[in-house]
Amino acid sequence: MLREAISDLALHFLAKKKIMVIKDIERDDIEFISKTINATPVAHADQLKPEKLGNAGLVEEVSAGGSAKIIKVT
As to burial, measured by CB atoms within 10 angstroms (0-12 exposed, 13-18 middle, 19+ buried), residue 55 is exposed
3 within domain boundaries: no
In total, how many domains does the chain have? Answer: 1
pLDDT digits (tens, 9 = 90+) for 31-60: 888 888 888 888 777 887 888 888 888 888
pTM: 0.59
2 within domain boundaries: no
Residues linked to residue 61 through DSSP beta bridges, in sequence order: 71
Q: Residue 20: which domain range? A: 8-73
19 within domain boundaries: yes
Residues 41 and 1: beta-carbon distance below 8 Å? yes
pLDDT digits (tens, 9 = 90+) for 1-24: 555 678 889 889 988 988 878 777
The rounded distance, in Å, linking the Cα atoms of 30 and 36 is: 10
